[in-house]
Amino acid sequence: MVTPTHALHVALLVSDLAQAEWFYGEVLGLTPAPRPLSFPGQWYQLGTFQLHLMVAAQWQAPRPRPDKWGRNPHLALGVVNLEAMQARLEAAGCPVQRSASGRAALFTQDPDGNLIELTAIPDTL
């Protein structure tokens, strides 16, 4: 087979690794993954998929559509309890925008403005 068969990882740029680790590790609750590289960053494991954070000084994510976050580049993750995740985000002071489509989804952003979509999924997946 010559076509791709799996998504392996996505890499996001962050300017402050400690703040990014707080957001992805503490607020979202992602599990750190082994990282055999020497340049600054952090990896997280989500099932068979990984999120790679790489440090880039002065990074700020672009936002061509500030009114509708879902129409900007974003990473989408599934959560079993969307309301509990929204409460956790709000308690941590993270901005939240519900999906304009009416779906059971919301958007938030990391400290560098990278947008994250969180969509309700059944716990049977």
- Residue 112 region, left (φ>0) first, then alpha (ψ -120 to 50), else beta? alpha
Q: Into how many domains does the chain fold?
A: 1
pLDDT higher than threshold 70 for residue 125: no
Q: How far is it, in rounded angstroms, from Cα 20 to Cα 111?
A: 6
What pLDDT sits at residue 89? 98
pLDDT band of 113, cuts 50, 70, 90? very high
Tell whether 31 is covered by a domain.
yes
In terms of pTM, does the model score above 0.85?
yes
Q: How far is it, in rounded angstroms, from Cα 32 to Cα 51?
A: 9
Tell whether 3 is covered by a domain.
no
pLDDT higher than threshold 90 for residue 114: yes
Residue 115 belongs to what domain range? 9-120
Instruction: Tell me which of 13-17, 23-27, 119-123 is least confident.
Output: 119-123
Tell whether 1 is covered by a domain.
no
Domain at 68, CATH number: 3.10.180.10
What pLDDT sits at residue 64? 87
pLDDT higher than threshold 90 for residue 8: yes
